[in-house]
Amino acid sequence: MANTLLLRVTEDGLRLPRQLFPQLGEVEVIQRDEYILIKPKSPLAPGDDISTRVRAALREAGLLVAPGWPPPPVVPAAKRAELARKLSLGRPLSEIVMEDRADRA
């Protein structure tokens, strides 16, 4: 079934009748050499979140590069708590650093 579209080009752009797209929702505009594509934004896949999509977009654009070294090992919460207890003896490190920098000022 073919529909006839009544298109209006105005100063602010191309206007399409909304009743032709009742369930369109949010759209994305993709510019090509010969045409402009207007399509619905792809919904998030199950288990996919916005940060995953942002990282994928940055990776595709070449703006995000995976480091060449392995990630640091995961330290269990109990071990972190034990290290925090051992390292918290005495004054906070921030006070020691500020005191050391004051001697050079």
| 13-27 confidence digits (pLDDT tens) | 877 777 777 777 777
Q: What is d(CA 63, CA 95) in angstroms, rounded to the nearest whole number? A: 38
Task: Indicate the pTM of the whole model.
Answer: 0.31
Indicate whether 52 pLDDT > 90: no
- What average pLDDT does range 71-96 have in this prediction? 84
Indicate whether 83 pLDDT > 60: yes
Indicate whether 1 pLDDT > 60: no
Per-position b or e across 7-19, b if 16+ CB within 10 A of its CB: eeeeeeeeeeeee
Indicate whether 79 pLDDT > 70: yes
Indicate whether 46 pLDDT > 70: no
pLDDT band for 70, please (50, 70, 90 cuts): very high
User: What pLDDT score was predicted for residue 74?
Assistant: 93
Q: What is d(CA 96, CA 87) in angstroms, rounded to the nearest whole number? A: 13
Q: What is d(CA 7, CA 16) in angstroms, rounded to the nearest whole number? A: 6
Q: Give residues with Cβ within 8 angstroms of 29, minimum separation 6.
A: 36, 37, 38
